[in-house]
Structure 1
Amino acid sequence: MVTLAEVAQHAGVSASTVSYVLSGKRSISANTRRRVEESIRRLGYHPNAGARALASSRSNVIALMIPLRTDMYVPVMMEIAIAVTTTARAHGYDVLLLTGEEGPDAVRRVAGSGLADGMILMDVELDDERLPLLRGGGAPAHGGPPARADSRVGEDSRVGEDSRVGDDQSAVLIGLPADTTGLTCVDLDFRAAGALCVEHLAALGHRDIAVVGEAPAVYERHTGFAERTLDGLRSQARESGVRLLHRPCEGGYAAMAVTLARILDERPGTTAFVVQNESAVEPLLALLRQQGRAVPEDVSVVAICPEQVAVQASVRLTSVAIPAQEMGRYAVEHLVAKLDGRGDDEVVLLAPELTVRASSGPAPARA
């Protein structure tokens, strides 16, 4: 393993100069910096993570809390996680994975131990129990200043209380809670995504639209993206003068068969479906074929799903794509900015785009 001393000897400088180039704690001339960086590249030097953390009072680690739930579409979660990891590495950070099921306990553990400089949280609920820990804290994560008098959670304002995150523990949410005060959030504008789907179908003449939603547990948890999509669907339906029926679905063929039968029994005049459940997409298309309902001649289908799901379906789906990579990348960039003292709390909503493909068409003429 190449040492810092060997880099210094190769570059013809002192070991302290190499250290300053790596840490940025002192101004180094451009020529010297280039010489040191060239030696680092040629020798393949990698700073010792432990020593670097001790020197900078930073761990150079970002914690990512990712959901491991059977009712969530895992490929999207993994795509976000990969984007977070690759972007973090580009900024010199490693990623520590945490399971969302640990909830507030994981937030306390990471903040109190100094395992990570900042956190990215996924699977955000409207009234997420992790949020009070992120809105200002008492116990510093890395030996920072004592708690401010106004940084209290609930009625307990004891300084050093371990139920609060330290002032220098930065966090970014991939998702949007009901109250975003004091938080940085990155997400697709799911409310606008839902509205786009209804607007598109209403313009094609559809007046009875059914929504095949996520698994019931997703709504029971009041998960932000699902609730906001439903809000957008319903608001646009009222504005467009169409009837909307929403039914959650576990996904898979058997569950989709039951859900479709229920929808058509309640609303036999349904001519369009909006699907926000990746595991229900192909079963729905198969069941419609079995019933002799052609897509899009007899019934239209629009999905809110990853691009890959839409283009690889048996009928190429008109869809609003979920920009998983962009969400992961933006979350890291905003977190790094906060860690560097350059970022403020803000909400970043990515504008949805609806791509028209083969699954949507004019509503069939009524008999």
Structure 2
Amino acid sequence: MTTIKDVAERAGVAPSTVSYVLSGSRKISDDTRRSVQQAIDELGYHPRASARALRGTRTNVLALALPRATGGYRAVDGRFTIDISDAARSHGYDVLLMTDQEGVPGLRRIARSGQADGAVLMAVEMEDPRIDVMRELDFPTALLGRSADDDALPWTDLDWEAAAALSIHELAAAGHRDIAYLATTEHEIQARRGYALRGVAGARRAAPETGTEVRVHQSTGDMARLARRVHALLTGEHPPTALVVQHVAALPHILAAIAAAGLRVPEDLSVMAVGNLPDDVGGRDLPRIELPVSEMSAQVTRLAVEAIAARAEGPARSPAAHRLIAPVLMPGPRAAPPRPRTGR
């Protein structure tokens, strides 16, 4: 049986250093932490797993897995983290936040060590490797997001396909026939995040349904490049009369690029936002479909807690529960009709 001393020898550190890395009780350099973690993964060390299993006790902790680039921050992630933490407390659980980009090894460690009773996975990909690992380990898990397999694990999500389609239908009803859909970033689409691909699918599906021309464009996290893309889109030979924005985090930059192109919203260009955070003042003056953060957070936490209880009751399992939330066009501004444009 692998011991903490074995891990220390493999990593070339003292056993106390391994203990500090595991507990987080002291600041350890990134290089040392990575060496210790590599040794843990290679040796398959799982601290306290057998003892906790013998006791049959719970930790009353939920692991919240959020893959994140070092130094990166998204307001939507922070909002979900807070709301899920609040929802967990209402069920008597604390939250252990995991932001390791290498999600699978980290989740294996948490599941096998007994540091948490269950997990909530964020940033869900269509073919997410974490899902198979959680099922393999029989670790109670719920997804904040929808993968390609609805029956793999419990999940909740906004119906992004319906949300994108609703935005196109609203603009078509106002008279628009040339619509641009600014999707999420290239990185999110290449990573096959569920919300990114389903938003694009909804926009494309709505085009033949409404008789409109919908051109899909990928966004970028580079705001200077994004400004150039928006400018080229709006000043080209066939500019749209309406723009749907799913990359709402960049909305202030997009609106600035529209103004720089000499266009007014909504007089010259109708803009609709899909996936705004509640209380985000940046999109208040636009027709918008908000992201139901509080409802999604409450639902995914409930699903995780129910999965923990179901596991404790025995091997008999019902199909994975899920909650697909219908999009709602928020009260307030509505899509303006297209206006004839003068020559440029």
TM-score between the two structures when normalised by the length of structure 1:
0.72
Over the aligned positions, Cα root-mean-square deviation in angstroms equals 2.5
Equivalent position amino acid for 2:277 in 1 = P
- Displacement of 1:70: 7.8
Contact 2:251 2:282 (C-alpha < 8 Å) held by counterparts? no
Moved more, 93-102 or 123-132: 93-102
- Displacement of 1:55: 5.8
Contact 1:252 1:279 (C-alpha < 8 Å) held by counterparts? no
Q: For 2:145 and 2:294, how far apart are their aligned partners in 1? A: 14
SS at match of 1:173: strand
Contact 2:181 2:244 (C-alpha < 8 Å) held by counterparts? yes
Contact 2:145 2:156 (C-alpha < 8 Å) held by counterparts? yes
Give the match for residue 279 of structure 2. Answer: 308
Q: 1:60–1:307: structure 2 CA closer, same or farther, 3 Å change rule? A: closer
Q: For 1:190 and 1:111, how far apart are their aligned partners in 2? A: 30
Give the match for residue 149 of structure 1. Answer: none
Q: 1:104–1:86: structure 2 CA closer, same or farther, 3 Å change rule? A: same
Give the match for residue 322 of structure 1. Answer: 291
Give deviations 1:59-88, integer Å, cap 9, x for gaps: 111100013248986111111111111111
Q: 1:262–1:290: structure 2 CA closer, same or farther, 3 Å change rule? A: closer
Pair 1:351-2:322 in alignment = no
SS at match of 1:232: helix
Q: For 1:70 and 1:268, how far apart are their aligned partners in 2? A: 40
- Displacement of 1:321: 0.2
Flag as ranges the 4+ runs of structure 1 deviating above 6 A: 70-73
Give the match for residue 170 of structure 1. Answer: 140
Q: For 1:298 and 1:71, how far apart are their aligned partners in 2? A: 38
- Displacement of 1:331: 0.8
Q: 1:188–1:277: structure 2 CA closer, same or farther, 3 Å change rule? A: same
SS at match of 1:213: strand
Determine which of 143, 146, 151 is the counterpart of 1:181: 151
Give the match for residue 82 of structure 1. Answer: 82
Contact 2:234 2:261 (C-alpha < 8 Å) held by counterparts? no
Moved more, 346-355 or 187-196: 346-355
Contact 1:100 1:123 (C-alpha < 8 Å) held by counterparts? no
Q: For 1:130 and 1:245, how far apart are their aligned partners in 2? A: 33
Contact 1:87 1:332 (C-alpha < 8 Å) held by counterparts? yes
Contact 1:125 1:222 (C-alpha < 8 Å) held by counterparts? yes
Q: For 2:226 and 2:249, how far apart are their aligned partners in 1? A: 9
Give deviations 1:201-244, integer Å, cap 9, x for gaps: 01011111112222211111011101001101110112111111
How high is the sequence identity, in percent, across the aligned residues?
Answer: 36
Q: For 1:332 and 1:74, how far apart are their aligned partners in 2? A: 21
Determine which of 197, 205, 213 is the counterpart of 1:227: 197
Contact 2:121 2:141 (C-alpha < 8 Å) held by counterparts? yes
Equivalent position amino acid for 2:244 in 1 = V
- Displacement of 1:364: 1.5
Equivalent position amino acid for 1:308 in 2 = D
Pair 1:208-2:178 in alignment = yes
Q: Structure 1: which 5+ residue stretches go unaligned?
A: 1-51, 138-164
Contact 2:160 2:198 (C-alpha < 8 Å) held by counterparts? yes
